[in-house]
């Protein structure tokens, strides 16, 4: 049995775990980052994630503060406008940026994001990657906590659970959660198209779920976007098995002439949709971050940014604790983290769930009410500014 020790043990090396490892490494902590999957092969990083991540302006500012944005910006396509359309083009709200030198958000391919972070972390002497190991047990000692893997034990002051929606850590510790499973799946497609997107994102609301189009960087001088469509699982499972020409025809009908016709589909994936929130974001000497703590319906594109706010809170709490000589992972440290994060997450969990319910309603009175609401928002600059600031994370 191999024994190791560190300041912080991070379980899970997805985007949230990677950013947590990077930000906390800046504070001088010795970090061990583990994953069940094989992520390294002779120092060559393995990733097959073709999805995209929407990064808000607020998240970009924090990433810039910790020195990451300069490298990520090479792969980021800004969102300058967002058009929201309910059922038909008559019910439309156009959102514009209210701040100079800022954007509504940015779209980055996950593969580029992951590769950038891992390449940086591999060069850090205070960060160790360990892949192909499964967490089996957590033991508590007098002044530390121990993660037990196959033939490996890692002793730490603090464990950070960044192991996603199906968190192994949460199952081991039996942390209660509130969960909602939607009768929807999400189809994610990256494709090229005939019209310039002009850095505009679109969100269409249909009775079976929303469809979003997000601008991506051009590929080989061709305009490129990512589409996320929430629909009935049976319908999407049939659609993804169809030939690309059939998929193009159906999508062209759905999105109209907003970005022209679809030229080529590069990738397509389906994911089940659900939301959850833990009853608390901590256990003894352990914190939950990102999807291990909470997940929300993708209707507002805020899920990953909510996880980054966890990391931001953890970063500043750890920095303050270190500056005044306090040990991380104490009971008060964990409680303070929970207090700083929980309300924000619970609010977004409720807002996204209710929004999805409202837009899926399809009776005469609800449709009329939404149409009136859209007209009021479109004409009210103050209300539009409030919603825009929320979308930007301010």
pLDDT at residue 73 greater than cutoff 90 = yes
For the ranges 30-39, 49-58, 334-343, 349-358, the one whose mean pLDDT is highest: 334-343
Residue 150 carries which DSSP code?
T
Query: Contact at 8 Å (CB) between 181 and 192?
Result: no
Angle at 109 between CA 46 and CA 360, to 5 degrees: 120
Query: Contact at 8 Å (CB) between 1 and 137?
Result: no
Instruction: Convert the pLDDT of each residue in 14-24 to its tens digit.
Output: 999 999 999 99
Instruction: Convert the pLDDT of each residue in 162-177 to its tens digit.
Output: 999 999 999 999 999 9
pLDDT of residue 319: 97
Q: Which of 272, 262, 269 is nearest to 213 (CA)?
A: 262
Place of tokens 């090479």: 74
- Give backbone dihedrals phi and psi of 134, rounded to 5 degrees, phi first: -110, 130
Average confidence score pLDDT of the chain: 90
How many whole angstroms separate alpha carbon 112 and alpha carbon 50? 9
pLDDT of residue 44: 52
Residue 291 carries which DSSP code?
G
Nearby residues of 258 by Cβ (< 8 Å), 6 or more positions away: 83, 195, 202, 213
Region 120-145: mean pLDDT is: 93
Judged by phi (left if over 0) then psi (alpha if -120 to 50, else beta), residue 42 lies in: left
Nearby residues of 313 by Cβ (< 8 Å), 6 or more positions away: 337, 340, 341
Query: Contact at 8 Å (CB) between 187 and 270?
Result: yes
pLDDT confidence of 239, banded at 50, 70, 90?
very high
- Give backbone dihedrals phi and psi of 223, rounded to 5 degrees, phi first: -70, 135
Give the least confident one: 80-94, 281-295, 304-318, 321-335: 80-94
pLDDT at residue 82 greater than cutoff 60 = yes
How many whole angstroms separate alpha carbon 177 and alpha carbon 304? 19
pLDDT of residue 223: 94
Instruction: Convert the pLDDT of each residue in 376-393 to its tens digit.
Output: 888 888 887 887 877 777
pLDDT of residue 86: 84
Residue % of the chain over a pLDDT of 70 = 97
pLDDT of residue 47: 59
pLDDT at residue 46 greater than cutoff 60 = no
Q: Which of 275, 279, 234, 226 is nearest to 251 (CA)?
A: 226
Instruction: Convert the pLDDT of each residue in 186-208 to its tens digit.
Output: 999 999 999 999 999 999 988 88
How many whole angstroms separate alpha carbon 305 and alpha carbon 290? 9
pLDDT at residue 43 greater than cutoff 60 = no
How many whole angstroms separate alpha carbon 22 and alpha carbon 73? 17
pLDDT confidence of 332, banded at 50, 70, 90?
very high
pLDDT of residue 106: 95
Instruction: Convert the pLDDT of each residue in 348-371 to its tens digit.
Output: 999 888 888 777 777 777 778 888
Q: In what order do the strands lie in the sheet with 177-193?
A: 92-96, 81-86, 200-206, 209-219, 222-231, 177-193, 262-278, 294-295
Residue % of the chain over a pLDDT of 90 = 65
Q: Which of 266, 260, 255, 268 is nearest to 203 (CA)?
A: 255
How many whole angstroms separate alpha carbon 93 and alpha carbon 163? 37
Instruction: Convert the pLDDT of each residue in 258-284 to its tens digit.
Output: 899 999 998 899 999 999 999 999 999
Rg of the chain over all Cα atoms, to the nearest angstrom: 22
How many whole angstroms separate alpha carbon 295 and alpha carbon 293? 7
Show the tokens assigned to 34. 């583990």
Helices (H), 34-182: 57-65, 69-72, 110-122, 168-173
- The pTM for the full model equals 0.92
pLDDT confidence of 324, banded at 50, 70, 90?
very high
How many whole angstroms separate alpha carbon 344 and alpha carbon 336? 14
| b/e sequence 74-106, b meaning 16+ C-beta within 10 Å | ebbbbbbbbbbbbbeeebebebebeeeebbbbb
């Amino acid at each position: 049995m191999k024994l190791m020790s560190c300041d912080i043990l991070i379980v899970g090396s997805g985007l949230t775990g990677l950013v947590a490892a990077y930000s906390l490494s800046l504070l001088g902590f010795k970090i061990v980052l583990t994953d069940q999957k094989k992520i390294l092969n002779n120092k060559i990083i393995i990733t097959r994630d073709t999805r995209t991540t929407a990064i808000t302006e607020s998240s970009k500012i924090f990433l810039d503060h910790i020195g990451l944005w300069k490298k990520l910006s090479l792969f980021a396509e800004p969102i300058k406008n967002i058009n929201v359309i309910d059922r038909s083009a008559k019910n439309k709200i156009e959102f514009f940026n209210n701040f100079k030198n800022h954007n509504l958000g940015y779209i980055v391919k996950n593969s580029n994001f992951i590769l950038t972070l891992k390449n940086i972390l591999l060069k850090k002497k205070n960060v160790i990657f360990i892949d192909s190991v499964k967490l089996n047990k957590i033991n508590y000692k007098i002044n530390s906590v121990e993660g037990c893997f196959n033939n490996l034990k890692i002793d730490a002051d603090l464990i950070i659970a960044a192991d996603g929606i199906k968190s192994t850590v949460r199952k081991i510790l039996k942390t209660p959660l509130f969960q909602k499973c939607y009768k929807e799946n999400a189809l994610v497609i990256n494709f090229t198209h005939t019209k310039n997107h002009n850095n505009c994102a679109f969100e269409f609301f249909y009775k079976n779920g929303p469809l979003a189009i997000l601008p991506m960087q051009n590929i080989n001088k061709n305009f490129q976007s990512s589409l996320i469509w929430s629909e009935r699982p049976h319908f999407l499972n049939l659609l993804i098995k169809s030939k690309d020409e059939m998929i193009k025809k159906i999508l062209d009908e759905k999105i109209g002439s907003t970005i022209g016709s679809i030229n080529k589909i590069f990738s397509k994936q389906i994911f089940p949709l659900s939301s959850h929130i833990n009853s608390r974001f901590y256990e003894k000497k352990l914190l939950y971050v990102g999807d291990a703590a909470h997940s929300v319906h993708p209707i507002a594109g805020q899920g990953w940014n909510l996880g980054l706010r966890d990391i931001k809170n953890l970063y500043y709490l750890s920095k303050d604790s270190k500056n005044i000589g306090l040990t991380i992972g104490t009971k008060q440290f964990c409680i303070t983290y929970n207090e700083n994060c929980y309300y924000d997450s619970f609010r977004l969990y409720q807002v996204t769930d209710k929004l999805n319910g409202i837009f899926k309603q399809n009776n005469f009175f609800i449709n009329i009410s939404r149409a009136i609401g859209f007209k009021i928002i479109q004409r009210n600059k103050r209300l539009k500014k409030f919603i825009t600031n929320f979308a930007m994370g301010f």
